[in-house]
Amino acid sequence: MKKTVALLVAGVLAVVVLAKTTNVSSYVGTAWCKAKRAATAQVPTEFNIDRIDHELANLDQKLDGMIRPIAEQKVAVERLRKEVADRENRVAEQKKVLLDATAAVKAAKKGDKLIYANKSYTPDQVKARIALDFESFRRQEAHLAAQRKLLDSREATLQAAQDQLQTFMAKREEFRVQLAQLRAEHEVNKVNAVGNHVELDATPLAAIAQSLTELKDRIEADRQVMEMKNTLTAVNGIQLNQPQQSTAVDLDAIQAHLEGGAAPNAKTTSTASK
């Protein structure tokens, strides 16, 4: 057992010495950072947006957890503030009673009776009561001073908590606005990416283009057929399907001319062929 513990201790010491004398810890830290960045880069942007949106939604629960203690502390501060105000009034009243009693004792003559706390006393008796009540007054003053300090402390704490709450709410709203802007920019990037890398199937377009070409060729062929039919019905501008003017041929005159004889007067008459 001792040998095993000794080996473990030696191994730990060796790792510590290796870490101090080499850059192993630096290598490990660098590799971890690179791996972390690589893993983060593989996370889709939309997933990160949804993740942050989820975290912002969780802030509402944290906000509720912050509001409740502040509300309770505010109630406590209001109660303490009222207690301080009441004690200040009592101390002020007690102070006035002591001052009036002290003035009355100083002005009293031998045999006078003084009213103190709704009772009749001799000046010496009132003087003794003043001494007792003054000690009580001093204790009340000290307690009031302590309450005032406590009130100041709690008011400062409450104010700090309220400031933190306001800062928290402002930051939450700021983050929501930033996330909304980033979401909008991401949507724009998605639209631009689709526009720049759109891949259309050209097969239907090519088929339509081919059909239009074939239709154009067919219409042109129909036109050529009509022109050829019109051409076949006319020879040298003469419409063969219409009555034609034919010229009578004088064969005798032709023969005489060919034999070297004088050509008889030939008359060429035109007859209409039907």
Instruction: Spell 31-60 as b/e; 16+ CB within 10 A means b.
Output: eeeeeeeeeeeeeeeeeeeeebeeeeeebe
Partners of 239 in the beta sheet? 234
Q: Kindly give, in sequence order, each residue whose CB lies less than 8 Å from that of residue 238, ignoring residues fewer than 6 positions away.
A: 244
Point out which residues pair with 121 in neighbouring strands: 114
Give the model's pLDDT for residue 6.
54
> How much is the pTM?
0.50
* Number of other CB atoms surrounding residue 181 within 10 Å: 10
- Measured between its terminal Cα atoms, the distance across the chain in Å is 140
Residue corresponding to tokens 């309770």 = 72
DSSP per-residue codes, 139-164: HHHHHHHHHHHHHHHHHHHHHHHHHH
CATH assignment of 44-189, given 1.10.287.1490, 3.40.640.10, 3.30.310.50, 2.60.120.480?
A: 1.10.287.1490
Neighbours of 238 (CB within 10 A): 10
Among residues 21, 143, 26, the alpha carbon closest in space to that of 91 is found at 143
The radius of gyration of the chain from alpha carbons, rounded to an integer in Å, stands at 61
Specify which residues 114 forms β-bridges with.
121
| SS3 of 172-221 | HHHHHHHHHHHHHHHHHHHHHHHHHCCCCCHHHHHHHHHHHHHHHHHHHH
Residue with tokens 């101090």: 20
Find where tokens 């850059």 sit.
23
The pLDDT of residue 139: 95
d(CA 262, CA 264): 6
Token pair of 129, please? Answer: 């009561």
Please give the pLDDT value at position 189.
85
pLDDT per residue as tens, the chain (274 positions): 555 545 455 554 554 544 555 555 555 566 555 555 555 556 688 888 888 888 888 888 888 888 999 999 999 999 999 999 999 999 999 999 999 999 998 998 888 888 988 889 888 898 999 999 999 999 999 999 999 999 999 999 999 999 999 999 999 899 999 989 988 988 888 888 766 555 556 676 677 778 888 888 888 888 888 887 777 765 555 555 555 555 577 777 777 777 776 555 544 444 444 4
d(CA 79, CA 81): 5
Sequence spans of domains, the chain = 44-189
CA atoms within 13 A on the CB side of 179: 18
d(CA 221, CA 223): 5
Q: Check residue 18 and give its pLDDT.
A: 46
